A and B are shown apart, each in its own frame.
Chain A
Amino acid sequence: MDTLYLSVALFLLLTLVAGMWRILQGPTPADRMLAAQLFGTTAVACLLLLAQVLQQSALRDVALVFALLAVVTAVAFVKRAWTEKHDT
């Protein structure tokens, strides 16, 4: 069972690396930011799996923090860096 958890975690990490291509490509700022959001969620899944394998419940707290902070960066993006004005 532990091997399965770790394999899924590794698989998720690899999809995360693949998703990085979208940050590099763009073309719009939203695309880059969306990829970062996906990273956050994938990292949460990885952390929950690691918490089960390594038997460290603190990692679930770290996953919670990831979830909360992903919201803050996304809202900062929408309200600051990508406002409704048409400039970039």
Chain B
Amino acid sequence: MILDILTVILLLVGALFFLAGTLGLLRFPDVYTRLHALTKADNVGLGLIVIALMLQADSWFVVGKLLFIWILILLAGSGVAHLVANTAQKRGIKPWKK
């Protein structure tokens, strides 16, 4: 029962972070801030959904697989975020100032 309530909460908050990430992508003023919003959806949003599914998993193998997927996305996401931001800076895209 506690597990189910926790799953529901985690799923809803995770979905909220995804919404926040997409809203950030749509509304933020430049590449760097959009990148920031994107990685929040990646790390936290997916992470919470993965944890929620891990609580409901049938076997430890599934738990391991879910964790592995999340860690992969974390690794890949942060690597890509760095590369994009670095290249953006080298191309002279200036960060947004008010």
Would you give the 0/1 interface string for B60-91, flagging 1 where the beta carbon is closer than 8 Å to chain A?
A: 00100110110011001101100110011011
A-B contact pairs, 5 of them (CB 8 A): A8-B11, A15-B18, A19-B26, A42-B18, A48-B53
Give residues of chain B (1-57) contacting chain A, Cβ–Cβ below 8 Å. Answer: 4, 7-8, 11-12, 14-15, 18-19, 21-22, 25-26, 31, 34-35, 38, 41-42, 45-46, 49-50, 53, 56
- Grouping DSSP codes into helix (H, G, I), strand (E, B) and loop, the B interface class, with mixed when no group exceeds half, is helix
A11-B18, A38-B21, A60-B65 known; 5 other A-B pairs, CB under 8 Å?
A28-B88, A35-B25, A45-B45, A63-B69, A70-B80
**What residues of B have a CB within 8 angstroms of the CB of A49 in the complex?**
49, 53
B residues contacting the other copy or chain, number (CB 8 A): 44
Q: Interface size (A, Cβ < 8 Å)?
A: 42
Expressed in whole angstroms, the minimum distance between the Cβ of A3 and any Cβ of chain B is 11
Report the 7 A-B pairs with minimum CB-CB distance, sorted nearest first: A71-B76, A74-B80, A15-B22, A84-B90, A78-B83, A19-B22, A67-B72
- Report which of A30, A60, A83 forms a contact with B69, defined as CB distance below 8 A: A60
Q: How many A-B residue pairs have CB under 8 A?
A: 122
- Measured between beta carbons, the chain A residues less than 8 angstroms from B21 are 38
A28 to chain B: closest residue by CB: B31
- A49 vs B80: C-alpha distance in the bound complex, in angstroms? 25
Closest-by-CB residue of A relative to B65 is A60
Tell me which residues across on chain A come within 8 A of B50, comparing CB atoms.
48
Nearest neighbor of A22 in chain B, beta-carbon distance:
B25
A28 to B33 CA separation, bound complex (whole angstroms): 13
